[in-house]
A and B are shown apart, each in its own frame.
Chain A
């Protein structure tokens, strides 16, 4: 009788400890996740409330902001046309993807199709190192090597700053992003698909071009979109080489600006609460908005990817 009671007691205590441990674990992990949600909600809320103040409090017309080509925030008759920066951001990131996309896909093909095994052992560390180099270092190299080089190539007519320099620097920066996604996609392809194609007598290139690339198109596009997203949000490296002139980019070699470069340069030079400052927050809001757009595109692509 006594024994039974003690055992029951023990059992109850054991059960309680068991539950207590689980409780601690649950509370801890749930709090961490809650934290993540709080962070993201507050980022969106704070940036949006500042960014919308330009239009609500300061009365700048959203139409002028999005489509106006004239940027002169100071003076008696200021105008806040941010189109040159929006266009600059799009142009450099698209160009960067245009350069980096084919290169990255070739690198991924090299790793998985041309020299499987050994190719991966060579290129994988290269890609990891490229993604590890800090963006200011890319900017510095762009500034000291690429910009003078472009200037010389153009016959000394330009200083070398501009869209071309920005796009080239960005293309190297997004190369690892696209390559690793493309390589993962290639590695996940069922072996049978390749073998079926070879069995039909197709050459390696025919297999790549007719079977592998079409099958993996959604994944490859995912990589390219994520690359563009990264280029779109990159600030310092671009700012160092693009020249920072507030005009619509007319050619590859003329100085231009992006949303990020304008924010970087002017945020500390304008006083908090002024319209000149708020309009920079509107640009940050634009960056946030584009992040969401890129993610939606990626999600749509993934939905198509159910083989």
Chain B
């Protein structure tokens, strides 16, 4: 075959595959939104789910997902920041650093279900937390930690050398340089990364099946005392999240409108992930402009 013809065919094939990928995404989003949006209403978003009848909503599940996300981030962010700062600023190029890098890499490749099982064994059973928001949040934090470490490390490494050298020349301590010079500059990309990581946590289900559980006790949304068992913010109650709910109604198949409920819930999940993506981009830019007084975004 002529080299020119081969080139044309290959180019055509590559372009075709690229179009296929765009079409897959378009099809997926189109299907979820068309199928799901028609089922979404205020009532669907706020009313409790049904176990056997049709017409249940996703109110408690939606609340659980958001609350669990907050709990998870409270645990992940300080730990991930510390780990990432260590990797970017303190770690020397030696065997120990190599080992820690390996640990982060391994931890980020663990299947989420294994992290969930570990949570079941240690927090749910051994520490006797039972199926609870707290156990779920710890499992998700473990699952999310390596990502947070990597985001922090990259954000800190991206800060120009001169900034740090200027701080050193002023005789500041290393920690002072990190907190008052490097952190503000790294903040926009840190925030963007953290919100994207939050989006990933929001849709996670496998790690939660055995930690935060597959049921939600009846909630009383007027009771905000975290010690009461019916309070929505009690961290020791079991909580079924939106993603877990989708899985449960499909695999148990006890409610007659399982397909509609999961279509609606899927649409809510995907819309939330889209919102997380948009906020991440917008907020990063916003903070960058606020604290650096620069008009241009690179």
Contacts and interface: CB of A to CB of B under 8 A. Distances in A.
Contact of A235 (B3, B122, B206): B206
A207 B28 CA distance: 34
Contacts, number: 255
Most buried by A among B78, B171, B176: B176
B114 A29 contact: no
A281 B25 CA distance: 36
A272 interface: yes
Contacts of A265: 251
B10 A205 contact: yes
Most buried by B among A25, A40, A42, A139: A25
A28 B113 contact: no
Contacts of A71: none
B112 interface: yes
A236 B90 CA distance: 39
Contacts of A221: none
Interface stretch (B46-54, B99-107, B230-238, B286-294): B99-107
Nearest to B3: A203
A114 B175 CA distance: 47
Q: Would you call the interface of chain B mostly helix, strand, loop, or mixed?
A: helix
Interface of B: 3-4, 6-7, 9-11, 13-15, 17-18, 20-22, 24-25, 28-29, 31-32, 35, 78-83, 85-87, 89-90, 100, 102-107, 109-115, 117-118, 120-122, 125, 142, 145-146, 149, 171-176, 178-179, 196, 199-200, 202-206, 209-210, 214, 243-244, 246-247, 250-251, 259, 262-263, 266, 269-270, 273-274, 276-277
Given A47-B117, A129-B274, A136-B203, A208 B82 contact: no
B256 to A, nearest CB: 15
Nearest to B149: A36
Pick the 4 closest A-B CB pairs, nearest first.
A233-B111, A134-B203, A32-B82, A25-B175
A32 B31 CA distance: 43
Contacts of A123: 18, 21-22
Contact of B83 (A33, A136, A233, A234): A33
B165 to A, nearest CB: 17
A110 B250 contact: no
Contact of A119 (B18, B79, B110, B263): B18
Contacts of A140: 246, 250, 262-263, 266
